[in-house]
């Protein structure tokens, strides 16, 4: 009897122990899954506040970090919303970093254009959309009918502009000047080449400090072009550009019409080209072909940014310029910036004026990724702002970027051009004479500081409401 019991017991132990273990494991896994789901849900609700009055979600994180409210791009109330907002809505719902904190921009890599196409076909099949579309001004219509296309082929590109190191160079390039220009603006390009846009080693402004070896950098240059409607002027324009490219090796041209509403293509195509070709370049200056840049001061300024203790993290989202907050779209029909509210409703996100901005190479690559989930927008600098906010990144305002020029007669004061990094709207002739002046006054003005050069992330509500 005792033996029998003993046997039974060992059988029971053999059979039941694994069963018990399995059961315990099952319970454990279920509990873990429940806990995880719960905490995920709690996290995503805890992070979001809803501003009932203005129909906006508010990112709490950003508001506590920077001391002001940052309205997000995702509006809840969708009634009577603009065409672009409607297009972007479903995409944002999927990728909103506030609603879905775990979504990373990097994870969009595999879906080239998929979400954009999907939302476009959904929205254009909506009942009232055909009517809205037909009533767009012609320019907007033209934009909207091409806004899904961004893989325009490269016609001319420079050979090895960003190549890791030139033969005699000691270090990686510091900055790439990427200048928006058009086929006929040869004079502007030539003036830039001879003045502030010279390539190679450029010394910084503080030549006299002890660590002078550090305060300089290698500069690269590329001009960004589409194709101009040459009309009756015929085909030789592109031959000339080809010759220019052979001579200077700084032409990057794509096969799209170079119109104002196509300028955003220069951003997204530059990001794509940059990501493939310029891995080692630390900064990009993107600007118009009528800006004047104080290159030595800019080099010093950027070197200082790299030396800051936090540089490793800040460079992930570094974009500096003349920051405009809370701008509203231009609703004046005759303006070249005109955006009807059937196309876009609401404020623009904070953005840096497109005359000239500087951002890090790291950010350029992140912008390239995130832009795959942001529908093109006809105003290029606003589009960059739209991508920035989707990276949860804020542009840095620096008053030494004068995209709206000096105020009054400030520029006639001695040393005035030594206090700035960039100023917008100068003719090619002015570029040449300003550059000569800068050199002539160098010794005298060398130590003049930049105009209130403390970088600030400006509270949105303190900024004037500008309509362009
Ligand atoms: C340059 O540096 C030297 C030595 O550090 C100093 O004596 C001199 O005053 C400096 N010159 C200028 C123009 O700052
Ligand atoms: C942009 O370029 C494309 C390709 O050349 C052209 O079809 C389209 O009309 C242009 N868009 C605008 C708004 O000019």
Quote the ligand 2 centre to 226 CA distance (angstroms). Answer: 10
Q: How many residues does the chain have?
A: 468
Residue-wise pLDDT tens digits, 70-129: 444 555 555 567 999 999 987 887 776 666 666 554 455 556 788 899 999 999 998 888
| 373 C-beta neighbours (distance < 10 Å), count | 23
- Specify whether the CB–CB gap between 355 and 288 falls below 8 A: yes
Quote the ligand 1 centre to 446 CA distance (angstroms). Answer: 12
Question: What pLDDT shows up at residue 76?
Answer: 54
* Ligand closest to the CA atom of residue 443: 1
* Residues 6 or more apart in contact with residue 270 via CB below 8 angstroms: 178, 224, 252, 284, 286, 364
* Ligand closest to the CA atom of residue 141: 2
Quote the ligand 2 centre to 320 CA distance (angstroms). Answer: 29
Quote the ligand 2 centre to 84 CA distance (angstroms). Answer: 17
Which comes out higher in pLDDT, residue 330 or 8?
330
To 10 degrees, what angle do helices 263-277 and 361-370 make?
Answer: 120
* Residues 6 or more apart in contact with residue 331 via CB below 8 angstroms: 338, 339, 340, 341, 467
Q: Which of 253, 274, 278, 269 is nearest to 163 (CA)?
A: 278
Q: What is the DSSP letter of 58?
A: E
Instruction: Tell the residue nearest (CA) to atom 9 of ligand 2.
Output: 142
How many Å separate Cα 437 from the centre of its chain?
A: 33
* Statement: residue 299 has pLDDT above 80: yes
Query: Which ligand 2 atom is at minimum distance from the Cα of 255?
Result: 5
Residue range 421-432: mean pLDDT, rounded:
97
3-state secondary structure 271-312: HHHHHHHCCCCCEEEEEECCEEECHHHHHHHHHHHHHCCCHH
Pair type for strands 422-424 and 175-180? unpaired
Quote the ligand 1 centre to 203 CA distance (angstroms). Answer: 17
Question: What pLDDT shows up at residue 466?
Answer: 33
Residue-wise pLDDT tens digits, 317-338: 999 999 998 788 999 999 999 9
Question: What pLDDT shows up at residue 113?
Answer: 84
Question: What pLDDT shows up at residue 115?
Answer: 86
Rg of the chain (C-alpha set): 27
- Specify whether the CB–CB gap between 316 and 451 falls below 8 A: no
Instruction: Tell the residue nearest (CA) to atom 6 of ligand 2.
Output: 257
Question: What pLDDT shows up at residue 94?
Answer: 77
* Statement: residue 165 has pLDDT above 90: no
Instruction: Tell the residue nearest (CA) to atom 4 of ligand 2.
Output: 256
| 48 C-beta neighbours (distance < 10 Å), count | 18
Quote the ligand 2 centre to 152 CA distance (angstroms). Answer: 11
* Statement: residue 446 has pLDDT above 90: no
Question: Going from the N-terminus, what domains does the chain have, and what CATH number goes with each?
Answer: 154-462 (3.90.550.50)
CA distance 66 to 68: 6
* Residue from 84, 142, 379 to probe ligand 2 pocket by mutation (most atoms less than 8 Å from CB): 142
Exposure letters 236-268 (e unless 16+ CB within 10 A, then b): eebeebeebbeeeebbbbbebebbebbbbbbbb
Question: What pLDDT shows up at residue 261?
Answer: 97
* Residue from 257, 263, 268, 336 to probe ligand 2 pocket by mutation (most atoms less than 8 Å from CB): 257
Instruction: Tell the residue nearest (CA) to atom 5 of ligand 2.
Output: 256
| 22 C-beta neighbours (distance < 10 Å), count | 10
* Statement: residue 47 has pLDDT above 80: no
pTM of this structure: 0.82
* Ligand closest to the CA atom of residue 377: 2
Query: Which ligand 2 atom is at minimum distance from the Cα of 265?
Result: 1
Please give the mean pLDDT across all residues of the chain: 83
Question: What pLDDT shows up at residue 90?
Answer: 79
Quote the ligand 1 centre to 423 CA distance (angstroms). Answer: 29
Which residues is 154 bridged to in the sheet?
254
Quote the ligand 1 centre to 208 CA distance (angstroms). Answer: 6
Considering only 211-220, 363-372, 386-395, 401-410, which range has the smallest mean pLDDT? 211-220
Burial class of residue 418 (count of CB atoms within 10 Å of its CB; 0-12, 13-18, 19+): buried
DSSP symbols for 168-213 = T-SS---EEEEEE--TT-HHHHHHHHHTTT--EEEE-S-TTSTTTT
Pocket of ligand 2 (CB under 6 A): 142-143, 146, 256-257, 259, 261-262
How many Å separate Cα 459 from the centre of its chain?
A: 19
* Statement: residue 35 has pLDDT above 70: no
- Specify whether the CB–CB gap between 275 and 343 falls below 8 A: no
Residue-wise pLDDT tens digits, 228-268: 987 777 678 888 999 999 999 999 999 999 999 999 999 99
DSSP symbols for 1-49 = -HHHHHHHHHHHHHHHHHHHHHHHHHHHHHHHHHHHHHHHHHHHHHTEE
Which comes out higher in pLDDT, residue 47 or 251?
251
Quote the ligand 2 centre to 416 CA distance (angstroms). Answer: 40
Residue-wise pLDDT tens digits, 178-229: 999 999 999 999 999 999 999 999 998 875 555 555 589 999 999 999 999 8
Q: Which of 144, 403, 378, 143 is nearest to 263 (CA)?
A: 378
**3-state SS, residue 375:** coil
């Amino acid at each position: 009897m005792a033996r029998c019991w003993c046997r039974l017991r060992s059988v029971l132990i053999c059979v039941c122990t694994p069963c018990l273990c399995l059961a315990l494991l099952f319970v454990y896994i279920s509990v873990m899954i429940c806990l995880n789901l719960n905490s995920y849900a709690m996290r995503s609700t805890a992070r979001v506040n809803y501003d009932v009055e203005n129909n906006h979600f508010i990112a709490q994180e950003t508001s506590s970090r920077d001391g002001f409210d940052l309205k997000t791009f995702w509006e809840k109330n969708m009634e009577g919303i603009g065409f672009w907002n409607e297009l972007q809505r479903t995409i944002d719902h999927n990728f909103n970093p506030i609603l879905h904190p775990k979504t990373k921009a990097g994870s969009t890599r595999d879906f080239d254009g998929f979400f954009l196409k999907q939302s476009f076909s959904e929205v254009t099949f909506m009942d009232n959309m055909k009517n809205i579309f037909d009533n767009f001004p012609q320019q907007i219509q033209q934009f909207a009918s091409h806004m899904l296309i961004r893989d325009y082929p490269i016609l001319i590109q420079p050979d090895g502009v960003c190549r890791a190191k030139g033969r005699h160079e000691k270090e990686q390039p510091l900055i790439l000047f990427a200048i928006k220009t058009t086929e006929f603006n040869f004079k502007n390009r030539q003036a830039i080449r001879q003045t502030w846009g010279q390539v190679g080693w450029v010394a910084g402004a503080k030549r006299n400090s002890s660590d002078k070896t550090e305060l300089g950098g290698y500069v690269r240059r590329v001009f960004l072009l589409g194709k101009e409607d040459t009309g009756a002027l015929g085909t030789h324009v592109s031959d000339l550009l080809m010759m220019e490219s052979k001579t200077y090796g700084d032409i990057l041209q794509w096969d799209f019409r170079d119109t104002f509403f196509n300028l955003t293509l220069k951003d997204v195509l530059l990001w794509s080209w940059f990501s493939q070709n310029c891995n080692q370049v630390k900064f990009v200056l993107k600007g118009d072909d009528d800006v004047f840049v104080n290159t030595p001061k800019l080099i010093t300024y950027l070197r200082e940014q790299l030396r800051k203790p936090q540089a490793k993290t800040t460079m992930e989202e570094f974009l500096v310029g003349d920051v405009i907050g809370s701008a509203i779209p231009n609703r004046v029909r005759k303006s070249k910036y005109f955006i009807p509210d059937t196309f876009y409703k609401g404020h623009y996100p904070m953005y840096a004026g497109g005359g000239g901005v500087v951002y890090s190479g790291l950010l350029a690559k992140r912008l390239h990724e995130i832009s795959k989930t942001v529908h093109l927008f006809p105003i290029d600098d606003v589009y960059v702002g739209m991508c920035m906010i989707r990276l949860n990144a804020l542009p840095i305002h620096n008053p030494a970027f004068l995209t709206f020029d000096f105020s009054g007669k400030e520029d006639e004061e001695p040393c005035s051009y030594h206090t700035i990094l960039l100023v917008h709207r100068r003719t090619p002739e002015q570029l040449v004479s300003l550059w000569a002046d800068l050199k002539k006054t160098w010794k005298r003005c060398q130590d003049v500081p930049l105009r209130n050069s403390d970088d600030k992330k400006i509270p949105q509500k303190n900024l004037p409401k500008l309509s362009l």
